[in-house]
Amino acid sequence: MTMAARAVDVAEQAVALLDKIGVDKALYTGGEMASYSPVTGEQLAALKPDTQEAASAKIDKAARAFETWRLVPAPKRGELVRLLGEELRAVKTELGRLVSIEAGKIPSEGLGEVQEMIDICDFAVGLSRQLYGLTIATERPGHRMMETWHPLGVVGVISAFNFPVAVWAWNAALALVCGNAVVWKPSEKTPLTALASQAILQRAIARFGDAPNGLSEVLIGDRAVGAVLVDHPKVPVVSATGSTRMGRDVGPRLARRFARAILELGGNNAGIVCPSADLDMALRAIAFGAMGTAGQRCTTLRRLFVHESVYDQLVPRLKKAYANVSVGNPLESTALVGPLIDKLAFDNMQKALGEAKAHGGVVSGGERVALPYDKAYYAKPALVELPSQIGPVLEETFAPILYVMKYNDFDQVLEDHNAVGAGLSSSIFTLDLREAERFLSADGSDCGIANVNIGTSGAEIGGAFGGEKETGGGRESGSDAWKAYMRRATNTINYSRALPLAQGVSFEIE
């Protein structure tokens, strides 16, 4: 097959999938915003970005929809999300494939992302009958005190390219059962999967029957359009997923108008391999965590500390796995590693590797893999052995680079583990109870996710997802993350004939 034929195939496949999913062609043709596939580097579509006025009008429309939706009983709102789950199940193959085309994920990861959407829908349906408030003991006789959770308003969602659909679903499924409207600004690198997700939700809305118009809106465009969402006074909460750089801009802007921020930012995740570790298990977990999704997960394993007593057993095997890993077109091969999102990602990877060498790093891999697509960037995952944690190791480079360092003291390795700006995910490989528990304790890992004997990536939706420090502190998905999408009212009801004041205060008027 020729190079040109392959490129056309990818664009044609995308159009066929969009058609099957039911996306109006007018939304992705004839516009000035090009979208590309990292698989071949070819253009897929030409979208019409929203002007600032158009974006603002969509937000206003969602705010009007909220006024009706908040009055629908929560279990009934859950019915809409149940239908969304059904619609997603019906097009799982198509949407998963579209994710592979637009974000470059291997098929099982493209499908896995859609499965995550389905899982959060199931979770949210159950949640729609469990938006519990507390009843609290009051100090005053004949009184009752309780908490009520109310819908909040328009939930703004800003998402990154690397989870082009799941992150929206995490937010949208919860926001909708909580009684909110949703306005989504997807990554400008992955707008087609967003249009597809919106079409799927619209189908669920049509089946639901009487949901208000404007309940879910999508804004197409770059960060300038995202800024409209961030600054809009009718958006009381913005859930923003992306780089720490983005969070440094978005966080203060939201704070200025006292809006809530759910920030899900960069990670610089580490693993520790202890003397007692099951090395076979650690090897597999490290390989998936560091090379999976071509190193483009927020939870990708980027730093590995290996105890000196097992270093020579583990690291040569790891290097072998790196040398043998298959890199290739995720649509036409069984390769485990697909492309980087674009040239900038490849250039950043090369820059970090250059800096690592300058700091004494010994690099295996990292070179561009020759495939017959000039405009696509495939790279061999890189393993870099370093004497200590310096230079590029301290920052997230969104590419498959694993920095490997030796350690000999557990206290010191915990300190090194926590000595970076980000605080998303972490893991320890050990069979020693003391080490495992210490890692999970108050003076252990400082991350939002801390695992034992599993890798840093591949979280389930049932737990709250997010991280500390420069990762932004936000939580999405499971556990009680829903509380960020609602407002809490504390209600005190006096059913007595007296008016006692709290704290024994006396205020008797004549």
- The catalytic site residues sit at 264
Q: Which is nearer to ligand NAD, 188 or 385 (CB)?
A: 188
Hey, what are 126's tokens? 């159950």
> Minimum Å distance from CB 247 to ligand NAD?
8
* Interaction residues for ligand NAD, span 195-224 (CB under 6 A): 222-223
Tokens at residue 239, please?
Answer: 């859930």
Contact residues for 262 (Cβ-Cβ < 8 A; gap 6+): 171, 237, 238, 239, 240, 466, 474, 475, 476, 484
Give the three-state DSSP class for 174. helix
Return the structure tokens found at 471: 């990762």
Q: How many residues does the chain have?
A: 510
**Binds ligand NAD (CB under 6 A): choice among 118, 178, 194, 265:** 265
- Other CB atoms within a 10 A radius of the CB of residue 370 amount to 7
User: Shortest distance, CB of residue 224 to ligand NAD, whole angstroms?
Assistant: 8
CB of 212 to ligand NAD, least distance (A): 26
Using rule CB under 6 A, residue 243 touches ligand NAD = yes
**Min separation Cβ 288 and ligand NAD, Å:** 17
Separation of alpha carbons 506 and 12, rounded Å? 77
Please name the residue ranges forming H helices in 70-153.
74-90, 92-103, 107-127
Residue 167 Cβ vs ligand NAD, minimum distance, rounded to whole Å: 6
Contacts (Cβ under 8 Å, ≥6 apart) of 50: 58, 219, 220, 221, 225
409-438: contacts with ligand NAD (CB under 6 A): 424
User: Is residue 72 part of the contact set for ligand NAD (CB under 6 A)?
Assistant: no
By CB under 6 A, tell whether 227 contacts ligand NAD.
Answer: yes
User: What is the distance of C-alpha 431 from the center of its chain?
Assistant: 30
Judged by CB under 6 A, the chain residues 450 through 509 that form the site for ligand NAD are 471
Smallest distance, Å, CB 35 to ligand NAD?
13
Residue 184: phi, psi to the nearest 5?
-115, 125
Given candidates 86, 122, 231, 249, which one binds ligand NAD under the rule CB under 6 A? 249
Alpha helices in 427-497 (DSSP H): 433-440
| Cα(416)–Cα(428) distance, integer angstroms | 13
Identify which of residues 299 and 389 has a Cβ nearer to ligand NAD in the complex: 299
Task: Out of 14, 177, 196, 250, name the contact with ligand NAD by CB under 6 A.
Answer: 250
List 216's β-bridge partners, or say none. Answer: 182
Q: Rule CB under 6 A: choose which of 40, 100, 187, 477 binds ligand NAD.
A: 187
* 160 interacts with ligand NAD by CB under 6 A: yes
- Number of shown-chain residues binding ligand NAD (CB under 6 A): 29
Q: Which of 226, 236, 271, 478 binds ligand NAD (CB under 6 A)?
A: 226
How many whole angstroms separate alpha carbon 386 and alpha carbon 289?
Answer: 19
Q: Which residues pair with 383 in a beta bridge?
A: 364, 402
To ligand NAD, the closest distance from the beta carbon of 237 in angstroms equals: 14
Residue 448 binds ligand NAD (CB under 6 A): no
From the list 155-163, 365-373, 408-416, 493-501, the region that binds ligand NAD by CB under 6 A is: 155-163
Cα-only R_g, the chain = 25
Q: Give the residues across from 303 on adjacent strands.
A: 270, 403
Nearest-angstrom CA–CA distance, 47 and 31: 4
Tokens of 373: 């697509």
Find out whether 221 and 189 touch, Cβ atoms under 8 Å. no
CB atoms within 10 A of CB 24: 11
- Cβ-based nearer residue to ligand NAD, 131 or 192: 192
Report if residue 105 touches ligand NAD, rule: CB under 6 A: no
Which part of the chain contacts ligand NAD (CB under 6 A), choosing from 49-57, 260-268, 310-318, 330-338? Answer: 260-268
- Select 69 or 168, whichever has its Cβ closest to ligand NAD: 168
Q: Which is nearer to ligand NAD, 250 or 272 (CB)?
A: 250
In this chain, which stretch among 29-37, 153-161, 327-335, 491-499 interacts with ligand NAD, using CB under 6 A? 153-161
d(CA 107, CA 113): 10
Q: Is 266 in the site for ligand NAD (CB under 6 A)?
A: yes
> For residues 123 and 462, is the Cβ–Cβ distance under 8 A?
yes
Name the residues that contact ligand NAD, by CB under 6 A: 158-163, 185, 187-188, 222-223, 226-227, 230, 241-243, 246, 249-250, 264-267, 298, 396, 398, 424, 471
